[in-house]
Amino acid sequence: MMLESVINKYRKLRENGAFNVLLRPGVVSNYLAYQKEIAARPLIMTSTPPGMEIELTNRCNLACIQCLRSRGLKPYALGDMDFDNFKRILAQFPHVMNLCLNGFGEPLMHKQFFDIVAYTRRVRPWCKIGIYSNGMLLDAEKAHRLMDCGVAEVDISLDAAHPDTYHRVRRGGKLDVVHDNIKRLVRIKRKTRARFPLVGMNFVMLNENEGELVPFIEHAAEFGVDFVNCITYASYDWGFVNRRSVDSYRRELDAAAERMAALGVRCKSFPSSDLSWSDPKQPFGCKFFWGESLRITYAGDVTLGCCVPFKETFSYGNTLERPFSEIWNNERFQENRRLARRHAPPSPACASCDAFCKRFFDGVTPSGSSSAAS
């Protein structure tokens, strides 16, 4: 197991061109300390998360049905992060190794996106920078600028293989436009022989896109992207109701795995067949309170990097008002860590989630239909 872990870490460093991190003993030391601490889950953390999100904007040009804003829920005012504020925040994370420039918005909407990327690459040359995008704004100019600009990975979310499904799921977008943008991005990368960014396509399994994962994978093979991600059990505590059975998911996942193998499509994230998370008796065990997923909002607030940014997951402090070093082990963090260690959800939202919703398959018949709808 230790040899396999070493090999996997080597592959990640090679894939992301990040071997220079080995010349940063402080960064490596923090990473190793963090791995030990998150396993032990102490109340006081001496290390800081090696991965995090900094939300450049929470504005978006789409209204996807699985997004909280589609339910009329806006946890905070909409806006963009000021460039100077970004610099102030990034300075508080000298050991960050994996930085995602996302939150609840489309990062390419930020007018200084490329300036922020260039600055980050200059002051954190070892850091992997990635973004998730809906791809609608990825025109020819942006595609050219993305080549070796400092962004290591671009994950483009589609959640559909057919135009009518895409129109229902990712409202405001056009599938043909996104497809053209992806194909152009891959074409430009090959023509310029740029190593980065790696280009991925994402698919979140929903009620509306049942049966479209296999054709989605076939599109990915046709377009020549570097990888795909498949995410299922996408249940959030703001009104989404699953109508698909366990068998429905497993049939589609099995077919997708077979098609990926046949086409040689790489998948970086694929759902596990282990459904123990959906057992209401499964004890609460979220590690987000130890920074397994951490987000700084565009306004500088420290939040958990989960999908329930309401009152229950309040800001733990604002990095523009006090340093993260003072926030990281404050009374709020310690209290929630104390509760989580006792398997006690700190909030109703946490109780219903614990990484995935424990009520996900409630009311679903073996055929996959919802008993509430029948």
In a 3-state reduction of DSSP, which class is residue 234? Answer: coil
pLDDT in the model for residue 325 = 97
Instruction: Calculate the CA 124 to chain-centre distance.
Output: 21
Strands 302-304 and 294-296: antiparallel
pLDDT in the model for residue 75 = 56
Contact by Cβ (8 Å): 184, 146: no
Q: Which of 216, 190, 221, 219 is nearest to 203 (CA)?
A: 216
Q: Which of 65, 32, 68, 63 is nearest to 50 (CA)?
A: 32
Q: Per-residue confidence at 372, pLDDT binned at 50, 70, 90?
A: very low
- Evaluate if residue 286 carries a pLDDT over 80: yes
Q: Is the dihedral of CA 22, 27, 28, 31 positive or negative?
A: negative
Contact by Cβ (8 Å): 28, 22: yes
Torsion of CA 64, 67, 362, 284, to 10 degrees: 150
Angstrom distance (rounded) from CA 268 to CA 263: 15
Q: Which residue has the higher pLDDT, 85 or 311?
A: 85
- Evaluate if residue 371 carries a pLDDT over 60: no
Please write the tens of the pLDDT for every residue from 315-334: 899 999 999 999 999 999 99
Please write the tens of the pLDDT for every residue from 236-273: 555 667 888 888 988 999 999 999 999 999 999 998 87
Q: Of 15-19, 168-172, 180-184, where does mean pLDDT reach its minimum? A: 15-19
pLDDT in the model for residue 19 = 74
Q: What are phi and psi of 304, to 5 degrees?
A: -75, 150
Global confidence as pTM? 0.91
Name the β-bridge partners of 132: 155
Q: Per-residue confidence at 2, pLDDT binned at 50, 70, 90?
A: low
pLDDT in the model for residue 10 = 61
- Evaluate if residue 16 carries a pLDDT over 80: no
Instruction: Calculate the CA 185 to chain-centre distance.
Output: 21
Contact by Cβ (8 Å): 303, 312: no
Contact by Cβ (8 Å): 28, 21: yes
- Mean pLDDT for the stretch of residues 277-288: 79
What is the residue type of 311? Answer: K
User: In 98-122, which positions are buried (b, 16+ CB within 10 angstroms) versus exposed (e)?
Assistant: bbbbbbbbbbbbbeebbebbebbbe
Please write the tens of the pLDDT for every residue from 70-103: 766 655 688 999 999 999 999 999 999 999 999 9
Please write the tens of the pLDDT for every residue from 189-232: 999 999 999 999 999 998 999 999 999 999 999 999 999 999 87
By CB neighbour count within 10 A (0-12 exposed, 13-18 middle, 19+ buried), where does 341 fall?
middle
